[in-house]
Amino acid sequence: MTLLSGYAPFTARVRSNMPVVWVLALAAAGAACIPLVYLIVRAAQADAATWSDVLSESTLHLLLNTAALTLAVTATSAALALPMAYLTERTDLPFAGFWRSITIMPLAIPSYVGAFAFIIALGPNGSLQDLLAPLGVERIPEFYGFVGSWLVLTLFTYPYLLIVIRAGLRDLDPAIEDAARSLGQSAWGAFWRVTVPQLRVPLAAGSLLVALYVISDFGAVSMMRFDTFTRSIYVRFSSTFDRSSIAVLCLVLVALVAVVLAVDWSQRRNARYHRLGSGAARTPRLVQLRRYRWPSVFALVAIMAVALLVPVAVLFHWLSIGLQSGETFPGLLDAALNSMYASALAGAVTVAISIPIAIVVVRRPGFLSRIVDRVSYIGYALPGVVVAFALIFFTLRVTPGLYQTLATLIFAYAVLFLPQAISGLRTSLVRVQPGLEEASRSLNRNAWQTFYSVTLPLIAPGVLAGFALVFLTTMKELPATLILSPIEFDTLATDLWGHQEDVFFARAAASALLLLGCAALPMIILFGHDRELRT
Amino acid sequence: MENEISGAARLRPRHMKGSRWRPLLVFVALAALIAGALSAMASAGAQDGSDFEVQVRAQLHDDGRIEFGLHAEGQNLTPTLRFFPADASVGRLLVSSVVELRGVQLQVIARRQADGDTEFGVRADGEDLWPSGRIFPASTAADVWLVSSAVMVMSPDDAGDLVIYSGRGESLVGELINRFEQQTGIDVKVRYGNTAGMALAISEEGDRSPADVYYGQDAGALAFLAEEGLTAQLPADITAMVDSEFQDDDGRWIATSGRARVLIISPERVPNPPDSVFDLIDPEWNGRIGWAPTNGSFQAFVTAMRQIHGEAVTEAWLRGMIANDVRVYPKNTPQVQAVGDGELDIGLVNHYYLFRFDADWPAENHFTDAGGAGALINVAGVAMLESTTNRANALRFIRFLLSEAGQTYFREQTNEYPVASGVSARPGLTPLDELNPPSLALTSLSDLDGTLELLQKVGALQ
């Protein structure tokens, strides 16, 4: 990137100290540490035998399984998400608005529903087998275990990367691509040598989200019968009553997460990604796909067919069985409203909390901001049930009056999903020239006015991406909702869980489909509109 | 023209239009508004529930007797004593037995008039209420139900509330809890979760727990809470309702229904099913058997096997099963599904999963191991928390679960074994007293740590 002197590594220090922002960021980071404190308190009650029991050979086996799955899913998700982001954001793809909304929808499918649907559709004796039977296929190979988990988790987590990369693409200044083209690079050359390196921040942030999600996922691996760390923790939660041994196991998981976070950090360059010259970024022109136009559409259709159509078709199949036998679905509407309400609140609150963290991380690089950034990932990487128990412990000791109220629930969501909002915001914030903010200050706007009228509009794509991520993930969140919600506050996720647990598949399918619909609605509002850019 | 670089950029950055994040704010605001309005409406609706209407219904029988009952809240209530004799003396007030609805004791009152007609009324908590249309004419045709006009009955506002942490699903027991709520007028709040998870949540909450009652479906979880000293001793009238083998020795929890271990088999592919789970390690069953090692009922069964047959035998059996290529399922229902689908020949499950499928589902329950672990009967049960200040309502709920109404519900709706009030097992199911469960204290099922260790050691569980 030495070609582009205007974008060369450069560290700008602005003098003001932002005490309020620091206080807010440290408070948010402190909240994110609650699960860790809880685990340490509980693990301290474990005896030596528990420790040696947990740190055994089978734990090593679990660690290796988890690491392999995490690497595989992250790599394939990135391979899927990068071209999808570019196609939907930067090219003259037909129906781009539709594709922009639909390609992130798999995120709204809870991984256990997706996995279950795949087993029904593609498993031995599944629907695919029935279709292939006339062709002489006796038994299609089983895909339980690593392969199944890999497939399912990739299909339902790539949107984390997609959303973040797309926000990054929107903020990308097209001038450097133009410069590359003017220096003789082909369109492909400009994409690989300029665009992709410029997307380093969203790629890394999105990959981290995917990796940590895989580490904390229980639904897919339990359905696919693949032994990972989180599965082992959940199994203990549902069968042993010894919380201290669970805490010890979780601390080992935290160590694994720390390694992932350290690797991610070491990959980070102290580079500048914002424009240094005068003027503002031009609206990028759309790349003409020409003869790749329809093959691109076909590829998207194929991916969506597997990631979205298979689960939806299975759900509709069950629903139709239920409707034929005259089942009714009372209470679904309430659950849907509760889900929308809690998820929208969680999205708004989490984004608000994460703004100070994103600001100190991007604008004040240093030891303290690095700590703030890294600890905010802890809640996200831990199994949801552990975070829920940490908040029982914390709330009853600190604010017992708020226990099992909406406030605690939203707080729990924020602790769980903070990194998603930060990833979206950081991606946008690195592109904002500090000079613009400084100009605003020199024009006698105070810090808050500057933030509101200059920074916030500039990081709008990141705010949106962060909100969308938290909203979609909250819609399907289960363990914390079960324990911390106000009593009888049913959401679509708890309704779905309750009925599939008791094998009322039609009702479970109805909740799952409604969950998808409720998730789709805001995504269409947020992402489905036409681009302002034109060829 | 792709290669052209445009010269002067627009002065205004493109995002300054703000059109990208305005919809977000609008959406959040709308969601908050709608939800707020709806919750206000819901709470307003909940408050006008203290009065309800009651009607008397009656029909003439061929023998001259008049059968009567009550209709309220969209349901018919039938008192045990509900026949008005043909030869009742004129002017004498007769009273039916009591039915309870929303905390009110309701009776039907009736009296023969001089002209041979009969007038019907309602006695609510001792107060006689006469509807305006209350005459049952002597000339009424037989076998036709007539309905009186309605009287308003005040339900007591102070029936109080009750918080239940339920490890049993809403689709299993929600209807039963609704009935209790309707009958007593108690405002019941339920938190649903899984059995072990809810027990752990209570132990994490300690004496600050908002719960009054814990309701779970594994004796081990109930025993865990009792051992932690979190559950209270139940009064003798309750402990006397259930056999001592199905409750805690100190009365700190009590079973409400029974769940038997069985083999789910395909009658077509397994014409001669084995008599013992120990036969399943025979090469004959290689690749044809399934289990759900993460399932609580399965782990309770392995715990029972360790207690009865010892560690070595259990370990050998587990290894034998794995060597016999046992297929692993996430829980029990998929095994019943798989047996019907032809993917599996024999699965290790509980008896009631089969009844959730259609009657012609090609799978059968097969009881094994008289007196051994394979014949284990685990229970669903209930406990009152030591920390509750709401003992009267908690005990009322427990008595309700053990009443004839509660026990009949378990037989009809959850297909479990009733354990109290003389209610028999559902037809087609081997009765409880003909089963030969192992003589094992259910409380010992809480020793799950050893089971988990063993399952991990042999590689059944990581």
Q: B241-264, pLDDT tens digit by residue?
A: 999 889 999 999 999 999 999 999
Nearest chain A alpha carbon to B299:
A239
**B104 SS3 class:** strand
Q: Which of A178, A236, A463 lies at the smallest CB-CB distance from B5?
A: A178
List of chain A residues whose C-beta atoms are within 8 Å of the C-beta of residue B171: 498-499, 502, 504, 507
Nearest C-alpha of chain A: how many angstroms from B382? 18
pLDDT tens string A155-188: 999 998 998 898 888 877 788 888 888 888 887 8
Q: How far from B153 is each of A180, A300, B93, B107, B147, CA to CA, in Å?
A: 84, 64, 20, 12, 17
Nearest C-alpha of chain B: how many angstroms from A78? 25
* Segment of A198-202, A238-242, B360-364 carrying the highest mean pLDDT: B360-364
Tell me: domain B161-258+378-429, CATH 2.40.50.180, correct? no
User: Which of B28, B447, B451 is best to mutate for the A interface (most A CBs within 10 A)?
Assistant: B28
| A6 — pLDDT class (breaks 50, 70, 90) | very low
Contact between residue B364 and residue B383 where contact means Cβ atoms under 8 Å apart: no
Please indicate, yes or no, if residue A411 is contained in any of the structural domains: yes
pLDDT value at residue A533: 41
What is the share, in percent, of chain A residues with pLDDT greater than 70? Answer: 88
Inter-chain touch A403–B210, beta carbons under 8 Å: yes
User: Which of A38, A181, A186, A241 is best to mutate for the B interface (most B CBs within 10 A)?
Assistant: A241
Instruction: Look at strands B66-72 and B75-77 and give their pairing.
Output: antiparallel
CB pairs under 8 A between A and B: 182
| A269 — pLDDT class (breaks 50, 70, 90) | low
Inter-chain touch B35–A340, beta carbons under 8 Å: yes
Nearest chain A alpha carbon to B223:
A241
pLDDT value at residue B12: 43
**B396 SS3 class:** helix
| A353 — pLDDT class (breaks 50, 70, 90) | very high
Nearest chain A alpha carbon to B224:
A241
pLDDT value at residue A2: 39
Interface confidence, given as ipTM, is: 0.84
pLDDT tens string A79-128: 999 999 999 888 888 888 888 888 988 988 888 888 888 877 776 556 66
List of chain B residues whose C-beta atoms are within 8 Å of the C-beta of residue A522: 27
Q: Is the pLDDT of residue A323 over 80?
A: yes
Inter-chain touch B2–A242, beta carbons under 8 Å: no
Q: Is the pLDDT of residue B5 over 50?
A: no
Q: Which two tokens stand for residue B48?
A: 């006008």
Inter-chain touch A498–B24, beta carbons under 8 Å: no
> Out of 3.40.190.10, 3.40.50.300, 3.30.70.100, 3.40.630.30, which CATH number does the structure's domain B260-375+448-458 have?
3.40.190.10
Please indicate, yes or no, if residue A11 is contained in any of the structural domains: no
Inter-chain touch B197–A347, beta carbons under 8 Å: no
| B47 — pLDDT class (breaks 50, 70, 90) | very low
Q: Which two tokens stand for residue B126?
A: 């001792």
Touching check for A345 and chain B: CB below 8 Å? yes
Instruction: Look at strands B66-72 and B377-384 and give their pairing.
Output: unpaired
Q: Is the pLDDT of residue B106 over 80?
A: yes
Range of the domain at A502: 35-269+292-527
At which residue do the structure tokens 């004959």 appear? Answer: B284
Domain with residue A367: its CATH number is 1.10.3720.10
What residues contact B174, with CB distance under 8 A and at least 6 apart?
A: B190
**B212 SS3 class:** coil
Using the Cα atoms of residue B264, residue B270, residue B273 and residue B274 in order, give the sign of their dihedral.
negative
**B267 SS3 class:** coil
Backbone angles phi, psi at B100, to 5 degrees: -110, 135
Inter-chain touch A337–B35, beta carbons under 8 Å: yes
At which residue do the structure tokens 């007591």 appear? Answer: B156
Touching check for A398 and chain B: CB below 8 Å? no
Inter-chain touch B190–A385, beta carbons under 8 Å: no
Contact between residue A493 and residue A481 where contact means Cβ atoms under 8 Å apart: yes
What residues contact B403, with CB distance under 8 A and at least 6 apart?
A: B420, B421
Backbone angles phi, psi at A135, to 5 degrees: -85, 5
Quote the CA–CA distance of B297 and B331 in Å, as a whole number.
9
Q: Is the pLDDT of residue A252 over 60?
A: yes
Q: Is the pLDDT of residue A414 over 90?
A: yes
- CA atoms in the 13 A half-sphere facing the CB of B30: 10
Nearest chain B alpha carbon to A223:
B330
Query: Where does chain B hold its CATH 3.40.190.10 domain(s)?
Result: 161-258+378-429, 260-375+448-458
Distance of CA B252 to the CA centre of its chain: 20
pLDDT value at residue B234: 96
Inter-chain touch B224–A241, beta carbons under 8 Å: yes
Please indicate, yes or no, if residue A116 is contained in any of the structural domains: yes
Q: What is the mean pLDDT of residues A255-274?
A: 79
What residues contact B309, with CB distance under 8 A and at least 6 apart?
A: B317, B372, B373
A259-263, A282-286, B167-171: least confidently modelled range: A282-286
| B34 — pLDDT class (breaks 50, 70, 90) | low
Nearest C-alpha of chain A: how many angstroms from B266? 16
| B334 — pLDDT class (breaks 50, 70, 90) | confident
List of chain A residues whose C-beta atoms are within 8 Å of the C-beta of residue B194: 238, 501
Nearest chain B alpha carbon to A236:
B452
Quote the CA–CA distance of B426 and B420 in Å, as a whole number.
14
Nearest C-alpha of chain A: how many angstroms from B197? 6
User: Which of A142, A225, A239 is best to mutate for the B interface (most B CBs within 10 A)?
Assistant: A239
pLDDT value at residue A9: 41
pLDDT tens string B289-323: 999 988 888 988 999 999 999 999 999 999 999 99
Nearest chain B alpha carbon to A522:
B27
Inter-chain touch A501–B194, beta carbons under 8 Å: yes
Q: Which two tokens stand for residue A181?
A: 């083209």
Q: Is the pLDDT of residue A410 over 50?
A: yes
Q: Is the pLDDT of residue A133 over 70?
A: no
Q: What is the mean pLDDT of residues A219-230?
A: 84
Inter-chain touch B9–A62, beta carbons under 8 Å: no
Q: Which two tokens stand for residue B399?
A: 């008595």
Please indicate, yes or no, if residue A130 is contained in any of the structural domains: yes
Quote the CA–CA distance of B129 and B108 in Å, as a whole number.
10
Please indicate, yes or no, if residue A226 is contained in any of the structural domains: yes
What total of structural domains would you count in chain A?
1
List of chain A residues whose C-beta atoms are within 8 Å of the C-beta of residue B161: none
Nearest chain A alpha carbon to B227:
A241
Please indicate, yes or no, if residue A55 is contained in any of the structural domains: yes
**Burial of A370 from C-beta contacts in 10 A (0-12 / 13-18 / 19+):** middle
Q: How far from A443 is each of A16, A100, A439, B201, CA to CA, in Å?
A: 16, 38, 6, 55
Inter-chain touch B38–A337, beta carbons under 8 Å: yes
Please indicate, yes or no, if residue A283 is contained in any of the structural domains: no
| A134 — pLDDT class (breaks 50, 70, 90) | low
List of chain B residues whose C-beta atoms are within 8 Å of the C-beta of residue A487: 163, 189-191, 210
pLDDT tens string B236-246: 999 999 998 89
Quote the CA–CA distance of B280 and B292 in Å, as a whole number.
15
pLDDT value at residue A408: 93
pLDDT value at residue B99: 86
Q: Which two tokens stand for residue A11?
A: 């560290």
pLDDT value at residue A270: 61
Backbone angles phi, psi at A399, to 5 degrees: -135, 70
Q: Which two tokens stand for residue A460?
A: 């709008």
Quote the CA–CA distance of B438 and B448 in Å, as a whole number.
18
Give the DSSP H/E element, type plus range, for residue B173. Answer: helix B170-184
At which residue do the structure tokens 């392995």 appear? Answer: B302
Instruction: Look at strands B151-154 and B327-328 and give their pairing.
Output: unpaired
pLDDT value at residue A471: 92
Nearest chain A alpha carbon to B339:
A125
pLDDT tens string B349-391: 999 999 888 888 899 999 987 788 888 999 999 999 999 999 9
Give the DSSP H/E element, type plus range, for residue B290. Answer: strand B289-291
Q: Which of A241, A460, A501 lies at the smallest CB-CB distance from B169?
A: A501
Please indicate, yes or no, if residue A414 is contained in any of the structural domains: yes
Nearest alpha carbon to residue A521 among A472, A478, A481, A476: A472
What is the share, in percent, of chain B residues with pLDDT greater than 70? Answer: 89
How many other CB atoms sit within 10 Å of the CB of residue B152?
Answer: 10
Touching check for A238 and chain B: CB below 8 Å? yes
Backbone angles phi, psi at B376, to 5 degrees: -55, 140
Touching check for A461 and chain B: CB below 8 Å? yes
List of chain B residues whose C-beta atoms are within 8 Å of the C-beta of residue A385: 197
Nearest alpha carbon to residue A153 among A107, A119, A121: A107
Quote the CA–CA distance of B350 and B333 in Å, as a whole number.
9
Q: Is the pLDDT of residue B339 over 90?
A: yes
**Burial of A464 from C-beta contacts in 10 A (0-12 / 13-18 / 19+):** buried
Nearest C-alpha of chain B: how many angstroms from A270? 25
**A248 SS3 class:** helix
Instruction: Look at strands B346-350 and B289-291 and give their pairing.
Output: parallel
Give the DSSP H/E element, type plus range, for residue B192. Answer: strand B187-192
pLDDT value at residue B20: 54
At which residue do the structure tokens 């004498």 appear? Answer: B92
A34-48, A178-192, B169-183: least confidently modelled range: A178-192
Instruction: Look at strands B346-350 and B187-192 and give their pairing.
Output: unpaired
What residues contact A224, with CB distance under 8 A and at least 6 apart?
A: A115, A119, A143, A144, A145, A148, A149, A152
